[in-house]
Amino acid sequence: MARKKGGKSSGFVSNGERPNVRKDVRKMMRREYLSNSLEVVNNKLAAWAKGKRVMLTIPNQGADNAKHSFIRVPATDVWGKPGGRFVMKNNE
């Protein structure tokens, strides 16, 4: 058998097979988080500012596809590039 590396032991490491929180508790926490839309938008804004790929759900603008009333689009299409400069138009 191969020798393990020396040094500090990492101790017991879980295999991650089963959740350690009851299913109904996890569902309740998720519902509570999603009901607070301010917190959800805050987290999406923070992720967008870091350059992560954030998806937003917006009303469908196209009248041709009435089957889907809402569509998911990347936040960069709606909010623009994070860290991008805002330039006011110069009429001169």
pLDDT in tens, 15-68: 888 888 999 999 999 999 999 999 999 999 999 999 999 999 998 887 676 788
Q: Does the model's pTM come out above 0.85?
A: no
Question: In the chain, where are the structural domains located?
Answer: 23-79
- The 3 state secondary structure assigned to the chain is CCCCCCCCCCCCCCCCCCCCCCHHHHHHHHHHHHHCHHHHHHHHHHHHHCCCCCEEEEECCCCCCCCCCEEEEEHHHHHCCCCCCCCCCCCC
